[in-house]
Amino acid sequence: RRTAPFAVTPEHVFAAGKDAAGRGLFYRPVRDTIVGQGKVVARHSVFRDAGGVRFAPVADSADGLGAPLDAAQPKWPAFGHAGLPPAPLGCALASPVLALAGGKRRIAVDLQLGRLDPAKHSGEGLARAFSAFLSGPKGWLGPFALGGTLSAAVLSLEFTLAEGEPAVVGYDPAVHGLALATTAPVVQLLLAPEAAADYADLAGLAVDKAAIRVEVQGLTTLALANDNGSLNPKKAFQPFGPQPVISSRF
C-alpha cells in the first residue's frame, strides 16, 4: 500500500525482545532517516578489528561473499565478522595522461597530505603499505609495487609498467566494476593486505592535492589527436584545434 514518507528520528525507540537474562532490548536510531518508497536491493557490512577492516559485499549470505544460507537456520551476521576478506581501501585517480599504450611507462603520483605525522610515517613505509592498479583492456592491471619518497607533506609514489605489458585504457564499469564517475584511465592506490593492520595509523591522513606524472621510453607507435579527432603528422596541424580553450587536449 502506498504511504507517505515517514521520518524516523533518535526520539523513536524500538523493542527487540529480551536478552538471555530476561532484560528488555531496545534500540534507538543514531540519526534522522526518511523512510519512503525506497527498496533494499543489496546489503553490505564493514567489520573493523585490530587486524584492519573487513568487508562483506553480500552481507546476507553464509560467507559474506554470496554463498547460500543454511536452509534450516538462515542466519547471517549483520555487522560482519573477523573471517571476512580485507576491505579494498585506498583512493582512485583518473586522468587522460594515463592513456599509455606501450613502451616502458613510469607513473608517479604526488599526494599532498594533510594531518601527516612525521614521527609515524615515512615515504618508504607509506609506499610499502599500498599497491597500484591500472585500468586495462580486460580488467585491472596489477598489483604494482610502489617506491616512495616524502618531502615536507608531499608523498611521491612511483611504479613502472614494463614493455609488453597491456595498454592502460579508459575506465569502463562493465569491465572494471566499481562505480567511478569517469571514462578516463584510472590508477587505484589500495592498502596492501599485509598492511591491513596499519589502517588505524593511516586513517587520519587526508589528500589535499594530487598530481600525476608520466614518462614513456621505447614507444614504437605514435598516434596524434586532439578534441576534434585524429591528426596527420605529415601535414601542418593545429595541436589544440582552431579555437582552443582552457583544458583543450592534444
Over the stretch 74-91, which tens digit does the pLDDT of each residue have? 999 999 999 998 899 999
Distance CA 237, CA 96 (A): 21
- At 206-242, the pLDDT tens digits run 999 999 999 999 988 888 999 999 999 899 999 999 9
3-state SS, one letter per residue, for 23-77: CEEEECCCCCEEECCCCCCCCCEEEEECCEEEEECCCCCCCCCCCCCCCCCCCCC
Predicted pLDDT at 47: 94
Q: How far apart are the first and last CA of the chain?
A: 57
- At 128-175, the pLDDT tens digits run 999 999 999 999 999 999 999 999 899 999 999 999 999 999 999 999
Predicted pLDDT at 201: 86
Strands 147-151 and 154-161, bridge-based pairing: antiparallel
Which secondary-structure segment (H or E) carries 129?
helix 123-129
Q: Is the pLDDT of residue 45 over 80?
A: yes
As a whole-number percent, the residues of the chain with pLDDT over 90 amount to 78
Question: What distance lies between CA 64 and its chain's CA centroid?
Answer: 20
- Residue indicated by cell numbers 576534434: 228
Average pLDDT for the chain: 92
Predicted pLDDT at 1: 60
- 176, 182 in Cβ contact below 8 A? no
Confidence of residue 6 (pLDDT cuts 50, 70, 90): confident
- Residue indicated by cell numbers 526520539: 11
- 109, 126 in Cβ contact below 8 A? no
Q: Is the pLDDT of residue 53 over 80?
A: yes
Predicted pLDDT at 63: 92
- 142, 168 in Cβ contact below 8 A? no
Predicted pLDDT at 34: 87
Name the pTM for this structure.
0.74
Spatial CA neighbour of 148 closest among 192, 104, 179, 99 = 192
Q: Strand, coil or helix: what is 88?
A: coil
Confidence of residue 200 (pLDDT cuts 50, 70, 90): confident
CA angle 55, 56, 60 (to 5 degrees): 155
Which secondary-structure segment (H or E) carries 199?
helix 199-202
Confidence of residue 183 (pLDDT cuts 50, 70, 90): very high
